[in-house]
Structure 1
Amino acid sequence: MRLLLFSDLHTDLAAAASIVERATDFDAVVGAGDLAVKRRGLAGIVEVLAAIETPTVLVPGNGESAEELSNACDGWPAAHVLHGTGVEIGGVPFFGLGGGVPVTPFGAWSYDFTEDEARDLLAPCPEGAVLVSHSPPLGHADTAASGRHVGSTAVLEAIERTRPRLVVCGHIHDSWGVRSRAGSTPIVNAGPKGIEWLLE
């Protein structure tokens, strides 16, 4: 299965148009959150992305809520918005977790979850799925400009427990494009340019 991975478009319409243009060459498109900026601009970016007819898996970032994203994608037949839920595409299970984990320092606008809340949301994740998490796992593709690892322990624990075929994340801009591996699981912080991935 050929996947086109992206994250953190942050209302960049040109980047969204590039994803749309490339999407026809893939079996599925995966967006790991933050289409909006501080809960604004979501409708406009989804309007561009909704031209994608390839099955598309999306999770909310910390810049938009699951409800906001689901409502914005209501008229986009190919979109599957996941948050503590999953979907199967072409026989491959996908599972999603949105929001910032752990809670960010950004304030009330940020759609965040504690590690314990994230553990509960990740509990139904099946073994061997493609895990789409806005927040990266701790220690993998999660290095901030300060040099600190700022990823999620709950996401890392879910990887250790379920051994996903792939983890797609975003959130930490300083690690866009970074690839890592936890055990046998590849981890990709996708970023807005879009990364091609052949699922093994």
Structure 2
Amino acid sequence: MRVHVVSDVHGNADGLAKAGDGADALICLGDLVLFLDYADHSRGIFPDLFGVENADRIVELRTARRFEEARELGRRLWAGLDREAAIESAVRRQYAEMFAAFPTPTYATYGNVDIPTLWPEYAHPGTTVLDGQRVEIGGRVFGFVGGGLRSSMRTPYELSDEEYAAKVEALGEVDVLCSHIPPEVPELVYDTLARRFERGSRALLAAIRRTRPRYALFGHVHQPLARRVRIGATECVNVGHFAATGRPWAMEW
């Protein structure tokens, strides 16, 4: 059995269309939407609406952790526009392209920048969407936890720690624990390019220690200090920033 795993697709539809080549199944750990590419500020919904100079500025402010100034810039740019309608229209265009690229079968969960309410409109019969749910693939039980935790970035699908922990608890014991965000381990949550700690989950870390899955797979942190960390019997793996690499992480058994 061979399964390919991707996360943080962020608009890379061409790569996604090839991500399942040679695999029996594809797993996607979310963040299909590209709002703003921190490596190329000309790509994404934000520069399409407001131009590259404003994208440069907002990245500069966020990287410097000047979040209130970044929010004020955003408020000025959005003034007079229907923000919700503009973003939904752009996200719908991206989702149409992303979901069309998924091979069959695909098992997917949401990232923190995704909009879960739109997914049922685009997920074709070969794509199974899971969040706080389990599925058997090739004789192994995979559990999926989507979304992120509340942060200063205020992305679309952020949950309270309690809501997130309830989804983790609902999974019980699994062979492979799949989530968008990592467990709360310093080496796994620190982004070396953004120079900040992202939100990781203590509930995921507790579940790993308690239930000892074979693997814990996740994304979210694009340039982590460590891509793999072993916690007891569990190999914790950041499957990579697919938008940049175009390469899935492979699991065989």
- 2:129 equivalent to 1:81: yes
- 2:145 equivalent to 1:97: yes
- TM-score normalised according to structure 2 size: 0.67
Q: 1:178/1:34 Cα in 2 relative to 1: closer, same or farther (>3 Å)?
A: same
How does 1:50-61 map onto structure 2 within 5 Å? Answer: 50-61=100-111
CA RMSD of aligned residues (A): 2.4
Shift of 1:177: 8.1
Deviation digits for residues 101-151 of structure 1 (CA, Å, limit 9, x no counterpart): 2x12112x4211122111111112132332111110011522123354641
Q: Runs of 4+ in structure 1 displaced over 6 angstroms?
A: none
Please give the alpha-carbon distance, in whole angstroms, between the structure 1 residues aligned to 2:146 and 2:95.
18
Over alpha carbons, which structure has the higher Rg?
2
* One-letter amino acid matched to 1:82: L
Please give the alpha-carbon distance, in whole angstroms, between the structure 2 residues aligned to 1:71 and 1:90.
28
Q: 1:3/1:148 Cα in 2 relative to 1: closer, same or farther (>3 Å)?
A: same
Shift of 1:196: 3.2
Q: 2:112 aligns with which of 59, 62, 68?
A: 62
- 2:19 equivalent to 1:18: no
Shift of 1:49: 4.4
Please give the alpha-carbon distance, in whole angstroms, between the structure 1 residues aligned to 2:96 and 2:140.
25
- 2:210 equivalent to 1:138: no
Which residue does the alignment assign to 1:114? 160
Deviation digits for residues 161-197 of structure 1 (CA, Å, limit 9, x no counterpart): 2222222211112229812222111122122033332
CA contact (8 A) 1:131 1:167 kept: yes
Structure with the largest fraction of helix:
2
Please give the alpha-carbon distance, in whole angstroms, between the structure 1 residues aligned to 2:200 and 2:29.
14
Shift of 1:20: 2.2
Please give the alpha-carbon distance, in whole angstroms, between the structure 1 residues aligned to 2:170 and 2:206.
13
Q: 1:172 aligns with which of 221, 224, 249?
A: 221
Please give the alpha-carbon distance, in whole angstroms, between the structure 1 residues aligned to 2:210 and 2:93.
36
CA contact (8 A) 2:6 2:249 kept: no
- TM-score normalised according to structure 1 size: 0.83
Matched residue of 2:190: which SS? Answer: coil
CA contact (8 A) 1:31 1:57 kept: yes
Matched residue of 1:70: which SS? Answer: helix
List runs of 5+ in structure 1 lacking aligned partners.
Answer: none
List runs of 5+ in structure 2 lacking aligned partners.
Answer: 36-86
Deviation digits for residues 12-45 of structure 1 (CA, Å, limit 9, x no counterpart): 23xxx22322413112211111001356535534
CA contact (8 A) 1:165 1:199 kept: no
Q: 2:25 aligns with which of 13, 18, 28?
A: 28
Moved more, 37-46 or 149-158: 37-46
- Percent sequence identity over aligned pairs: 31
